[in-house]
C-alpha cells in the first residue's frame, strides 16, 4: 500500500516539475518579461554594423557619431531593422567641409543639427549595390533616420553607370557588410535641407556689418528737440532722440516709448531684461562685484531698465572681480564715484564681440561714446582680441558675449577703465629783462628851454641843463 501511495506521489511530483519547467520557459521567451527584467538599453552583437562602423577606417564619421550622442539611438534602430549607412570619406569631413559650417555643427547649442546631419546618411532598410534602382526606376526616394519630414534621400543611377546618393558619388560600394546592415563609402557629405536652413538662419543673425560709430542727431539745446524733423520710426526701431536726452530729468525731455515685443503695452520690458542679464552675470561667475554695484550701491539697474523700456540699446563692458579688487579706497570714496565708473563702461550701442572686432580690424582705432559725457572709450585690435583704453589703464575683451538678447550686450573685460584726463600743460613765463628808460623831458619843457636859451635866460633854470 505504501508503494502505491509513494508511486502516486512520485507521478504527481513529476507532473508538477514538468509544469514548472514549461512555465519558466514561457516566461523566458516572453518579450514583456524580458523588457521588465533586463535593462532598457538593447544588447548589440559584436558582429553588428554599428560596431563595424566604430572600428572602421571612417574615423571622422565615427567620432562625430560619438560626439552627437547617437550610439543609443543607432542601437535601437539596429535592433528593429536593417540599416544602410552612407559613410563620407575622412577627407570630406576633415578638409572639404566649410570651416564655418563645421564650427556651426560642433557648437553645443547645435547638437540637434549635427544629429540630423548624421542620421541623414542612414536609411532604415538594407540597400546593397545590387539592389540599386535601374531602368525605369532610375531614382528612388528613401526616408532617412533624420527627423525632417522633407529630408528624403534619393538613390540614382547615372547614365554613365555611376551610383549617386543625393549629390554624392558612391566610391566604395558594399564596403562593410554585416547581418544587420551595410555600409557604402561616398565621396562627399550630404547636407539635409533642415540643417542648411538652420545654418543660414544662424549666419544671418550673426552677420553684423562693421561700421564706424556715427554721431547722434543734432538737438536744439533750447527746446531739447531735433533741429530737423525726424522721419517716422518703424515698429521696433530705436528712438530718434539720443540716449542722453532720455536720461535727463523732466517728463518733457524723454521721447515716446518705442513699441516692441513684451510688456502690457507692447513695449520692451527693460526691467526684466536687466534682471536677466544680472542673473546671467552671477551664474557665469567672476562678476559678483559688478553685479553688486549695479544692484546695491547705485540706481543704475533701474536707469538701465527704463532706457531699455524706452527702446534704447546698451553694451556693458563688465570688469571681472580681479579687476574690481584693484580699485583703491580713494577711487571709490568720492561721492558718486561708483556711478561715474560704471557710466564710463556703458556704451549706448548694441555691439557684440564680432561687430567690435570687425570694426577695429577694418578701421584701426575706434572710439565709442559712453554714458559718461563727454568721455569716449577707445578700442583697437591687440593679440587677436579687442583692447579698450590706452597704456597701463587698458583692458582686454576677456569673456565675449556673456549676455546678448538684442537689446543688452554684456562683454567681460579684465580691467577697470578710466577716461584719459586732460593734462593742462603749464607754459613757463618767459623772463622779460627790465629796460631802464632814461628820463625824458616833456615837449612843453623842451620848447620852454629853447625859448629861454634864445633869450639867454636858460642858465637860471636847472631843469634846462
pLDDT tens digit string along 64-121? 999 889 988 898 888 888 899 999 999 988 888 888 888 888 888 888 989 999 999 9
Same domain, 271 and 196: no
Q: How many domains does the chain have?
A: 2
Same domain, 156 and 260: no
In the DSSP assignment, the letter for residue 439 is P
> What is the pLDDT, as a whole number, of residue 294?
87
Read off the pLDDT band of 401 (50, 70, 90): very high
> What is the pLDDT, as a whole number, of residue 187?
92
Same domain, 199 and 60: yes
Same domain, 400 and 296: yes
Classify the C-alpha dihedral 345-350-355-359 as positive or negative. Answer: negative
> What is the pLDDT, as a whole number, of residue 206?
57
**321: in domain:** yes
Same domain, 151 and 266: no
Same domain, 194 and 294: no
- Residue 142, judged by CB atoms within 10 A of its CB (0-12, 13-18, 19+), counts as middle
Of residues 444, 356, 363, the one with CA closest to residue 401: 356
Q: What is the pTM of this model?
A: 0.41
288: Cβ contacts below 8 Å, ≥ 6 apart: 281, 282, 321
Most confident of 1-5, 44-48, 182-186, 417-421: 182-186
Q: Per this entry, what is the length of the chain?
A: 465
In the DSSP assignment, the letter for residue 458 is G
Same domain, 258 and 404: yes
Same domain, 296 and 407: yes
**240: in domain:** no
Lowest mean pLDDT among 29-43, 196-210, 293-307, 437-451: 29-43
> What is the pLDDT, as a whole number, of residue 87?
93
Mean pLDDT score, 199-207: 71
Same domain, 193 and 293: no
Same domain, 199 and 281: no
pLDDT tens digit string along 442-455? 555 666 677 667 66
Mean pLDDT score, 270-275: 88
Amino acid at each position: 500500500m505504501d508503494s502505491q501511495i509513494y508511486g502516486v506521489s512520485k507521478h504527481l511530483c513529476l507532473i508538477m516539475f514538468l509544469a514548472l519547467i514549461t512555465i519558466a520557459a514561457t516566461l523566458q521567451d516572453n518579450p514583456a518579461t524580458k523588457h521588465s527584467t533586463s535593462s532598457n538599453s538593447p544588447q548589440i552583437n559584436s558582429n553588428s554594423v554599428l560596431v563595424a562602423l566604430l572600428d572602421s577606417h571612417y574615423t571622422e564619421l565615427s567620432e562625430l557619431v560619438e560626439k552627437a550622442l547617437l550610439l543609443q539611438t543607432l542601437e535601437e534602430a539596429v535592433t528593429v531593422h536593417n540599416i544602410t549607412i552612407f559613410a563620407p570619406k575622412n577627407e570630406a569631413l576633415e578638409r572639404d567641409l566649410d570651416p564655418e559650417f563645421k564650427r556651426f555643427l560642433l557648437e553645443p547649442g547645435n547638437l540637434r543639427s549635427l544629429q540630423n546631419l548624421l542620421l541623414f546618411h542612414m536609411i532604415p532598410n538594407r540597400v546593397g549595390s545590387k539592389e540599386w534602382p535601374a531602368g525605369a526606376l532610375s531614382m528612388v526616394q528613401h526616408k532617412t533616420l533624420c527627423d525632417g519630414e522633407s529630408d528624403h534621400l534619393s538613390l540614382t543611377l547615372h547614365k554613365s553607370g555611376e551610383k549617386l546618393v543625393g549629390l554624392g558619388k558612391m566610391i566604395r560600394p558594399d564596403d562593410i557588410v554585416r547581418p544587420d546592415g551595410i555600409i557604402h563609402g561616398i565621396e562627399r557629405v550630404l547636407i539635409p535641407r533642415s540643417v542648411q536652413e538652420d545654418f543660414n538662419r544662424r549666419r544671418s543673425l550673426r552677420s553684423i556689418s562693421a561700421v564706424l560709430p556715427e554721431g547722434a542727431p543734432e538737438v536744439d539745446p533750447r527746446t531739447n528737440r531735433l533741429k530737423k524733423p525726424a522721419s517716422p520710426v518703424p515698429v521696433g526701431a530705436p528712438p530718434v532722440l539720443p540716449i542722453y536726452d532720455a536720461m535727463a530729468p523732466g517728463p518733457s525731455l524723454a521721447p515716446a516709448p518705442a513699441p516692441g515685443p513684451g510688456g502690457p503695452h507692447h513695449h520692451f520690458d527693460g526691467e526684466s531684461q536687466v534682471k536677466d542679464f544680472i542673473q546671467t552675470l552671477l551664474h557665469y561667475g567672476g562678476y559678483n562685484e559688478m553685479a553688486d554695484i549695479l544692484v546695491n550701491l547705485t540706481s543704475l539697474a533701474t536707469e538701465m531698465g527704463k532706457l531699455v523700456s524706452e527702446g534704447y540699446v546698451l553694451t556693458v563692458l563688465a570688469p571681472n572681480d580681479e579687476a574690481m579688487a584693484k580699485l583703491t579706497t580713494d577711487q571709490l570714496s568720492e561721492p558718486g564715484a561708483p556711478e561715474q565708473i560704471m557710466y564710463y563702461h556703458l556704451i549706448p550701442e548694441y555691439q557684440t564681440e564680432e561687430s567690435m572686432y570687425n570694426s577695429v580690424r577694418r578701421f584701426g582705432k575706434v572710439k565709442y561714446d559712453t554714458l559718461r559725457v563727454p568721455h569716449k572709450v577707445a578700442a583697437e585690435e591687440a593679440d587677436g582680441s579687442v583692447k579698450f583704453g590706452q597704456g597701463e589703464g587698458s583692458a582686454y575683451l576677456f569673456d565675449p558675449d556673456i549676455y546678448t538678447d538684442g537689446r543688452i550686450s554684456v562683454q567681460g573685460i579684465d580691467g577697470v577703465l578710466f577716461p584719459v584726463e586732460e593734462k593742462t600743460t603749464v607754459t613757463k613765463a618767459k623772463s622779460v629783462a627790465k629796460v631802464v628808460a632814461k628820463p625824458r623831458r616833456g615837449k612843453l619843457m623842451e620848447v620852454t628851454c629853447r625859448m629861454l636859451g634864445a633869450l639867454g635866460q636858460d642858465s637860471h633854470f636847472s631843469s634846462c641843463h
